[in-house]
Amino acid sequence: MVAYFSEIYNGLISLFIGMGVTFKEFFKPTVTVQYPYETLTMADKYRGHVELIENDEGKPNCVACGLCARACPSGCITLAGEKPEGAKKKVLTRYILDFTRCSLCGSCVESCNFNALEFSKEYNLASTRKEDFIFDLLQRLEERNK
């Protein structure tokens, strides 16, 4: 009989402690973000997918040396360039990032000697199609400049 009332007593104590916590949290401001209508600002150190950096003329800083592709342990970067006649540097013609294979290690950004790559702050990349995660970064740079 004593054990029965002891369990009831312990249950009530537990209930009142839980209700106290609930009562304290009830009056605190909410931290929920109404997602489609409000968005979060990403931290400066957020590492999204890789983006090309443009120079003053709106062209990519990349000289198609291929250091980023060689430094990538996942092998997710494919690039191509050609040297126009009479020019000193190569011109980037294609830069493809397969984000499905990217491990976001940052080796490509660190290995680039020409300040041509940076991490984007884009985080809303939800999709059910694999093709949506294969980025043509040169085309994305041109779209950003428009």
20 within a domain of the structure (yes/no): no
| Residue 1: per-residue pLDDT | 84
34 within a domain of the structure (yes/no): no
* Mean pLDDT value of segment 16-43: 89
| Residue 68: per-residue pLDDT | 95
Split into its structural domains, the chain has a count of: 1
> Can you point out the beta strands (E) in the chain?
50-52, 77-82, 91-98, 117-119, 134-136
101 within a domain of the structure (yes/no): yes
Separation between Cα atoms, residue 127 and residue 133, nearest integer Å? 8
Cα 59–39–99 angle (5° rounding)?
A: 50
Residue 114 pLDDT grade (very low, low, confident, very high; cuts 50, 70, 90): very high
Better-predicted residue by pLDDT, 13 or 58:
13
CATH number of 134's domain: 3.30.70.3270
| Residue 41: per-residue pLDDT | 83
pLDDT tens-digit readout, 52-96? 999 988 889 999 999 999 999 999 999 999 999 988 888 999 999
Better-predicted residue by pLDDT, 108 or 2:
108
16 within a domain of the structure (yes/no): no
| Residue 145: per-residue pLDDT | 83
Strands 50-52, 117-119: pairing kind: antiparallel
| Residue 58: per-residue pLDDT | 86
12 within a domain of the structure (yes/no): no
| Residue 36: per-residue pLDDT | 80
pTM above 0.85, yes or no: no
Residue type, 39: T
* Contact call for residues 99 and 135 (beta carbons, < 8 A): yes
Give the residue numbers spanning the domain of 100: 50-145
